[in-house]
Amino acid sequence: MNPNNIYLIQTDTTVGFLSQDKIKLNKIKNRPLNRPVLREVDSLKTLKSFVRVPKKHKNRIRRAEKTTFIFSNGESFRVVRDKRHLEFLKKFKWMYSTSANLHGKPFDEIWAKHQADVIVEDKRGLFEGEPSRIYKLGKSKIKKIR
């Protein structure tokens, strides 16, 4: 499995594109190439390899489900807990993730399948679900974004 391929997969929240190449993801979505992209990680240990987790927020991050955290360096991460999605993600440890639609448009399955290099479907199929909650973390404060 090539980590730079674009994978279309049902994530823990909604159908998404995953890859370790964020430029490809931004091109597909017609977004600026330097726009930040969420990273999904398979564990807290993997998360710690990218950012320093403020001590005050460690338990919140460890227990959170379907929640994205923006750290003080501007990078956003979600620790995946969903067993089906985690089974795929563990093969790579981490991947950039974005919803499988054009920027600002609703999900179009035909378009999304055409954009992906690899389509990964399980018995759930592909569906547009509820997006993750988003929190911005400071050293001691937390702010709800979505």
pLDDT in tens, the chain (146 residues): 899 999 999 998 889 999 999 999 999 988 888 899 999 999 999 999 999 988 889 999 989 999 999 999 999 999 999 999 999 999 999 999 999 988 778 888 999 999 999 999 887 878 887 888 999 998 888 899 98
In a domain, 68, yes or no: yes
Cβ neighbour number for residue 120 with a 10 Å cutoff: 14
Instruction: Assign residue 120 the CATH number of its domain.
Output: 3.90.870.10
Q: What is the pTM of this model?
A: 0.91
Residue 102: which domain range?
7-144
In a domain, 2, yes or no: no
Distances (CA, A) of 105 to 18, 31, 57, 80, 91: 18, 12, 33, 25, 30
- CA dihedral (116, 134, 35, 76) positive or negative: negative
What proportions of the chain, in percent to the nearest 5, are helix, strand and coil?
25, 25, 50
Number of domain units in the chain: 1
